[in-house]
Every structure is written in structure tokens, then in C-alpha cells.
Structure 1
Amino acid sequence: IETMTAITLMSYPFEGRPVYLALAPLTHAAGVLCFPIMALGGEVVIMPKPDLGYFLANVQKHKVTHTFLPPTLIYMLLEHEDLAVTDRSSLQCFWYGAAPISPTRLEEAIDKIGPVMAQLFGQSEAPMMISTMSPKEHFGPDGTVATSRLSSAGRPSPLVTVGIMDDKGALLGRGERGEVVIRSSLVMAGYYKNSDATAEASAHGWHHTGDIGYLDEDNFLFIVDRAKDMIITGGFNVYSVEVEQALMAYPGIQDCGVIGLPDDKWGERVVAVVQPHLGADIDGAEVMAFVKSRIGSVKTPKQVIVWDDLPRSKVGKVLKNEIKSELTG
């Protein structure tokens, strides 16, 4: 927690006495972000329930400087009628994380909320700050939005060493995909009363995140999937996050989850469950054609299912295991 707090204070803007608005549960990301605020003698405003109208009212009333929302709630916030009329001038840093964000919707957030969006990537075993992307890093040297970075998880944090490892324990070079591994005092001591899981997570002297990713030439970290969410269809590896990002660029889709289901022909078939914007009609064939034009036929869902809402955790992550259980019965 000390390391996480230090990384936060080094990586993001803090001018004056910060005021932090906590909407998401304090047991998760929103809670640990209180520590750097309190280290600066700041104020923490805690919301009792996730009401976005009340959230916007609090931003204006308390002159909030820092806040955090998972992507799902940011998507809903962008559609909220009060956003445009809320005074957001006090905001310095609007953190997002806990799940991958759509680059298309992130660019929309930068436009509608302001140049204050700030990414964090971490996990309970290495809280919050494995990599960071400050508000200014969302822009290029010429001041325009750096669109190529918006699908990244930022750069490895100060006090953290990030590597990409193959399944034999060898570190890989730039652009090569493998498991994201880290070394840092940010990392947990181990899993409680589970020495086997601890040994597995710390194999080869690195902490294993379970995420598949790569580092580009500018040292930006790109997470392509959770290892357990990768779909193998017709002998090809399909990363669900890549498919989800393509789906989220479709105008009528508010949120989605991509899973693999058993298939006699392909081994697994790519299936997309999508939540439409309120009042939007989704045509599955049109969606598939749209995704195919962006990422090719192999990665295109063989099936598009429309649900009014998606199962989510308390921090807003789409629960793919629940989607899979519902569809496999």
C-alpha cells in the first residue's frame, strides 16, 4: 500500500488540497485510492450508492479534484443528461481501470468530461499501479489525442519492473506477446494459507499476473486478454478484448462481453453478448460485418446475442463466467 501510494503521487497531477469522490465500493479500487489523498491531507467524499446524477452533483458541490469509475459506469456517465451542464472545472484526474476500456468511448470521455482522464492497471496481488497513464500522456506532442495509446494500459510505473514471459520462463522482446510478469515491492507476500498458489504465481522469480500482453517500442503496455479468456477457434488464438474493442466502436452498442463456446467445427466459436444503448436496435448481421471489416473474419463473432443488461461485479466488470453459464445452461 505504501508503494502504491508513492506511485500514485509520482504519476498523476495533484495541485493544492485534493478532494476525492468515491462512488465505487471502498473494498476495491475506490477504497485504496483514498490513501494517496489522505497522505496529502485531502478530503474524501463517500457516496452511499452508485447514482450518477448524485455523482455529478457532488463533483460540482464539493469541487472534486480526483475520482475513479470503472469503464461501464463511464459509458453510462457519457449518456447522462446532466454531464454537459455540470461544472467540471475542478477536476484534475479522473481515473479509470478495473476492466479494459473502449478506445472509442475513451476518446469521447476526453471530449465530454475533459483532458483529465487517467488510466491505472493493477490487481489485488499488486494493487492498482502496475502501469499508469497520466492525463497528459493521453495526448501527443502536438496536443492532439494520441489515439494509438488509448488501447494501452499506459507505461510501467515507477518502482515496478514489467516483463513479458513465455510459458517456459523466458523473457520476450518488444512487440512479442506473452504473460505480463512484474517485480516490485508492490507485489503481495503471497496467498493466504495457499503455498501452492503462491509458488505458481511467483515462478521464475517474477509475479505472474495471468494477463497476456506486450510492450511496444515506446514502452507502452498493451493487455490483449486474460489468459483464461483467450479463445482458440479453428486453431487460431482470438483475444476477447480485441473483439470487444471492435464491438464497442459500433454506434448502437453500450457494453459487451465476448466468450468462447464449444463448437463441433471450430473447437470453440466466438460469441458476443451485447447491451444496446437505450432505444437502439441491434442487427446481428450488421454487427458481424462491422467487426469483420475491422479485425477480420477469424476474430469476428459467429453469433451476436442481445441482452438488455449484462451481469457485472460490484466494481463494474462484466462477468464472463456468468454469461457462459447462462448460455451453456
Structure 2
Amino acid sequence: MVPESGGFDPAEIIGLAAELGKISMFAAPTLVKRLVDFAQRSGADGAGIKTIVYGGGPMYVAEIQATLKVFGPKFVQIYGQGEAPMTITALSREDIADSVHPDWLRRLASVGKAHSVVEVRVLGEDGTPLPRDRSVRSPCGGHR
């Protein structure tokens, strides 16, 4: 369904979710932030939203934590290439919501887990592969 406004209006999205129920959508992190900001101002809780898949840019750890507090465990992260529509990694709803896991904050700052048919390598500035357990400082407030 395309919202009547033809654009992204947080109030309209929240209203449609409440009216239609069980909606799933993709949103860039900036749009997720706009939804959260609206919900906090209006007292909305995201009723009717089943899943929001986010990607297309980094989601700051503090923002996904705030998002979970407002909407609950409704989020899935994807990371991939826009040029070749293929998702390389994903962070499941369960991984995002599992705040008691000892690596939860590191997970939130990551791009997720590689899909089974994908091989991922993390390279240093000189192009050499980094060891598996080596963290790389992320611009999103965590390590990758």
C-alpha cells in the first residue's frame, strides 16, 4: 500500500499501522528516527507495526536502543549493495532484541551476520585481512 500522501509522514504511517495492523516496511535509519520521534511526542507505541527492516545507512546504537524502548522488538537490520540488490548480512529481530546477551551492544553496532552463501572479510587500511576477533572502530558508536 502506498500512503495517500505519497511520501513519508510519520503520523500517517503510525495511523495506517493502527488501522491496518500487521504491516511490514523498509525504512532507512533516518526514517526510523522520525517515526520514533513522532511516537515519543504523540504517545504512540507502534501498534499495528509487525516488522521494520532498516538499512541503507548506519543506525547509531543509542538510536536503536531508544527505538526498541518505544516500539519493542519489531526490527531487522540488513546490509548489502545497492548496485547489486543482494543482502550480504542481516541482524535478526531476536539478535536486536536480546538485550541480556553479553555482546548485545556490539551486535547493535555491527552489520549483522553473513548469510550462508556469502563470505565476508574485514580488511585493514592496507587491504590485508584482519583476524576474526579484531574489532574495527565504527562511526556508529561501537565496534564492527
Q: Same fold (TM over 0.5)?
A: yes
CA distance in 2: counterparts of 1:54 and 1:159, whole angstroms: 38
Measured against aligned partners, the alpha-carbon deviations of 1:170-206 in whole angstroms (never above 9, x if no partner) come to: 43321447xxxxxxxxxxxxxxxxxxxxxxxxxxxxx
The answer on 1:158 being equivalent to 2:116 is: yes
CA distance in 1: counterparts of 2:82 and 2:28, whole angstroms: 15
CA distance in 2: counterparts of 1:141 and 1:105, whole angstroms: 14
RMSD: 2.9
CA distance in 2: counterparts of 1:141 and 1:76, whole angstroms: 23
Give the letter aligned to residue 159 of structure 1. V
- Aligned partners of 2:61 and 2:108 also within 8 Å: yes
SS of aligned partner of 1:111: helix
CA distance in 2: counterparts of 1:156 and 1:116, whole angstroms: 21
- Aligned partners of 1:120 and 1:128 also within 8 Å: no
Cα pair distance change 1:78/1:96, threshold 3 Å: same
Give the superposition deviation at 1:152: 0.8
Measured against aligned partners, the alpha-carbon deviations of 1:38-97 in whole angstroms (never above 9, x if no partner) come to: xxxxxxx12311111111111112213311211112222212134x33552x43321111
Pick the structure with greater CA Rg. Answer: 1
Cα pair distance change 1:162/1:143, threshold 3 Å: closer
Give the letter aligned to residue 152 of structure 1. S
Give the letter aligned to residue 108 of structure 2. L
Aligned residue number for residue 68 of structure 2 = 110
The answer on 1:127 being equivalent to 2:90 is: no
Find 1:75's aligned residue among 33, 36, 57.
33
Give the letter aligned to residue 85 of structure 1. A
Aligned residue number for residue 49 of structure 1 = 7
User: What TM-score, normalized to structure 1?
Assistant: 0.37
Cα pair distance change 1:142/1:151, threshold 3 Å: closer
SS of aligned partner of 1:46: coil
Q: Which has the higher contact order (CA 8 A, sep 6+)?
A: 2
Cα pair distance change 1:134/1:77, threshold 3 Å: same
Cα pair distance change 1:64/1:148, threshold 3 Å: same
Give the superposition deviation at 1:98: 0.7
CA distance in 1: counterparts of 2:44 and 2:97, whole angstroms: 25
The answer on 1:171 being equivalent to 2:94 is: no
SS of aligned partner of 1:164: coil
Measured against aligned partners, the alpha-carbon deviations of 1:252-299 in whole angstroms (never above 9, x if no partner) come to: xxxxxxxxxxxxxxxxxxxxxxxxxxxxxxxxxxxxxxxxxxxxxxxx
- Aligned partners of 1:107 and 1:145 also within 8 Å: no
Percent identity among equivalent residues?
21
Is the strand fraction higher in 1 or 2?
1
Give unpaired runs (5+ residues) of structure 1. 1-44, 178-213, 215-222, 225-240, 247-329
CA distance in 2: counterparts of 1:64 and 1:144, whole angstroms: 31
Cα pair distance change 1:168/1:150, threshold 3 Å: closer
Aligned residue number for residue 21 of structure 2 = 63
CA distance in 2: counterparts of 1:96 and 1:172, whole angstroms: 27
CA distance in 1: counterparts of 2:77 and 2:87, whole angstroms: 9
Aligned residue number for residue 54 of structure 2 = 96
